[in-house]
Structure 1
Amino acid sequence: MSGGDIAGAMTGKLDPAVLSEFVLARTGAPSSNLLAGPAFGEDAAAVRVGEQTLVVSTDPISLAAERIGQLAVDVASNDVAASGGRPEFLLSTLLLPDADTAVLDTITDQLDTEADRLGLSIAGGHTEVVAGLDRPLCSLTCFGVADRYVSTGGATPGDRILLTKGAGIEATGVIATDFRDRLDLPDDDVERATAAFDDLSVLPEAAALAPVATAMHDPTEGGVLEGLIEMALAAEATLDVDREAIHVRPETRAVCAAVGVDPLRVLGSGALLATVAEDETASALDALDEAGVDATVIGRVEAGDAGVDIGGERYTEPIRDDMYALWD
């Protein structure tokens, strides 16, 4: 793919072949202290620091205008937690299209409030006005120590697949705020959908599952379906998924139907996908219950070619998030 092709490509994650050629193959000098580096589907790196394992992840937010600061904290810390880490520190890079202090005030207040709620410290970063931007861009890097690093691609045949909370939680809040004018719904439904922003962190469930999970992944772009595809491709296995077992909250169904998107193919932060050995499944569900987190078994890992079997269809390539069409 040429540079022109990349520039004209659709919004969202790069094609795996492009990512492999131009990003994953160009990672600077090797280090014996890098325990887990850049790879398709892996959202965090693991670095040896003395006797400890440091988990680090970075992620940008630009399209969800109403809660960009809150989302940035949740998305970055979720990646560390889903890799077995205990998120503790954040670095914040905030790029603004102009010097509007009201916008700066809103975003930094959201960053501060959400970081404080989760017990995270913003240790530094960078903030400036950048010519050419048409909206703010907030990119956070999160750091945390892990007792046991858990990859996206660690699923093994026989494992059960777990999903916490449900599909499309992040999209529910974003649709209810950024696209409120497109919703022909009662105010109570919109308020319940907006409240999804308060349920985006997966720190409790990740902590509960980290000791036993063979793999964990928080679905973001492309939602639960894309998260499953990334897990399958990273593990080089088949994920056999029962679509009907995937929980979708009523308010999620309502707002997704109102704007014509599939709840399984939209921004999915707030849910955690995990695989656990069959004989660990009951204890894993008990641990989640004790943590106050709803979860269901939605499928099984099978030996075979990499892909996801769900609802009579098979997916072997990444998909595009349905939400992007709303911003186009």
Structure 2
Amino acid sequence: MTGKLDPEGLADFLAAVGVEDPAVVQGAAYGEDAAAIDLGDRTLVVSADPISLAADRAGHLGIHVVCNDVAASGADPRWLTSTVFLPDRDPEARRTLASQLDATARDLGVSIVGGHTEYLPALDRPLLSLTAMGTTDRFLRSGGASPGDRLVLTKGAGIEATAILASDFAEECRAAGVDESTLETALGYFDDVSVLPEATVLREFATAMHDPTEGGLLTALLEMGNAADVRVAIDREAVPIRPATRACCDAMDVDPLRTFGSGALLAAVPTDRLDEAMTAVTDAGVEAAVIGEVLPVDESADEAKPDRLFLDGTSFADPPRDDLYALWEVTDAY
């Protein structure tokens, strides 16, 4: 089944870490956006992400998704490597992908310094794996949240998914009644998937930040809760959802909280710094909302797998499968 490994399977796989190195401040772990390596006066932050399904804008999304992880860890992304597998020798498709990678990297001010590119005919669409690196003097773990912190979400849920629906599933959206104006607005959300502006602001206040990607906001919250050994509680009505997101997701039976969420940044902020943080991010021209809070674990509960997320009082222990995968699987079946 397409999608992320379950937490247990991922933990089992990540148990293979190679040689132990004291310079590794943060290694591979469930829920963590990036690794961190102590360089002495600075910390090197490294993150890797694949992209295979959003075919129309794979290069654009790939750069943003991996740079978002570095930014959510408190660093400024500076360098990239790109590993690209192409399904055929179509020169136009190759040039389009390369142009997307180059333009997006230039927009963010990062350098593509290496990688690997080859043809793999077994594929039916390009497959990318990108690694981003940057440095910081204050590394932020996804697992840094503390009980009492408030949860802040920028922009809105499902932004990346909205743009994908308007591109990869435009005809299906039209058939379901989404008008052209809404589709045009939704397609423009590809330009909103970077979280670098708000990450640069919120990293001064946050105890933890996380970038919702596959599985959306709910998966990001569960990952943050597991990484920090806390519980998180949110109200659905408090989560900002843009009108075009609502229209496209409703038409395609996709929950905005359970689908690709790049473009939103999730931050845990201490209560005594919340007002200051909200003012700062708003002054930076980024919308944000307080959607919930961080709670301590229930020490009295005898649970092998404790519930980490509470949505309107309903608890979750396991992350949901992203709602977009069902649409891709139906499309691939024809």
TM-score of the aligned structures, taking structure 1 as reference length = 0.95
Cα deviation for residue 59 of structure 1 reads 0.3
Task: Say whether 1:111 aligns with 2:112.
Answer: no
Distance 2:204 2:293 in 1: 20
Distance 2:16 2:115 in 1: 25
One-letter amino acid of the structure 2 residue matched with residue 285 of structure 1: M
Is the CA contact 2:41–2:137 (under 8 Å) kept in the aligned structure 1? no
Corresponding residue to 1:58 among 26, 48, 61: 48
Cα deviation for residue 223 of structure 1 reads 0.6
Q: Deviations over 1:69-91 (max 9, x none)?
A: 00000001000000001001111
Equivalent residue, structure 2, for 1:189: 182
Equivalent residue, structure 1, for 2:224: 231
Q: Deviations over 1:187-233 (max 9, x none)?
A: 11100000000000000111101122111000000111111111111
Distance 2:218 2:297 in 1: 19
Runs of 4+ in 1 over 6 A off after TM superposition: none
Partner-residue secondary structure (3-state), 1:79: helix
Equivalent residue, structure 2, for 1:203: 196
Cα deviation for residue 135 of structure 1 reads 1.3
Aligned identity (percent) is 53
Equivalent residue, structure 1, for 2:302: none
Equivalent residue, structure 2, for 1:89: 79
Q: Deviations over 1:19-60 (max 9, x none)?
A: 111x21101000011010000011200001232100000100
Partner-residue secondary structure (3-state), 1:31: coil
One-letter amino acid of the structure 2 residue matched with residue 223 of structure 1: G
Cα deviation for residue 311 of structure 1 reads 2.1
Equivalent residue, structure 2, for 1:284: 277
User: Counterparts of 1:6-25 in structure 2 under 5 Å?
Assistant: 10-21=1-12, 23-25=13-15
One-letter amino acid of the structure 2 residue matched with residue 53 of structure 1: T
Partner-residue secondary structure (3-state), 1:300: strand
Cα deviation for residue 131 of structure 1 reads 3.5
Q: Deviations over 1:244-285 (max 9, x none)?
A: 000000000011111111011110000000001100101111
Is the CA contact 1:229–1:317 (under 8 Å) kept in the aligned structure 2? yes
Is the CA contact 1:83–1:150 (under 8 Å) kept in the aligned structure 2? yes
Distance 1:57 1:32 in 2: 19
Cα deviation for residue 164 of structure 1 reads 0.3
Root-mean-square deviation (Å): 0.9
| Bigger mean CA offset, 264-273 vs 203-212 | 203-212
Distance 2:284 2:141 in 1: 22
Q: Deviations over 1:110-133 (max 9, x none)?
A: 111111111111111111102322
Partner-residue secondary structure (3-state), 1:298: strand
Is the CA contact 1:148–1:211 (under 8 Å) kept in the aligned structure 2? no
One-letter amino acid of the structure 2 residue matched with residue 57 of structure 1: S
Is the CA contact 2:218–2:319 (under 8 Å) kept in the aligned structure 1? no
Cα deviation for residue 243 of structure 1 reads 1.1
Partner-residue secondary structure (3-state), 1:229: helix
Partner-residue secondary structure (3-state), 1:20: helix
Distance 2:38 2:143 in 1: 20
One-letter amino acid of the structure 2 residue matched with residue 314 of structure 1: S
Distance 2:74 2:260 in 1: 22
Equivalent residue, structure 2, for 1:321: 322
One-letter amino acid of the structure 2 residue matched with residue 264 of structure 1: L
TM-score of the aligned structures, taking structure 2 as reference length = 0.93
Cα deviation for residue 312 of structure 1 reads 3.0
Task: Say whether 1:268 aligns with 2:271.
Answer: no
Partner-residue secondary structure (3-state), 1:225: helix
Is the CA contact 1:162–1:299 (under 8 Å) kept in the aligned structure 2? yes
One-letter amino acid of the structure 1 residue matched with residue 229 of structure 2: E
| Bigger mean CA offset, 28-37 vs 205-214 | 205-214
One-letter amino acid of the structure 2 residue matched with residue 82 of structure 1: A
Equivalent residue, structure 2, for 1:250: 243
| Bigger mean CA offset, 130-139 vs 163-172 | 130-139
Corresponding residue to 2:16 among 21, 26, 39: 26
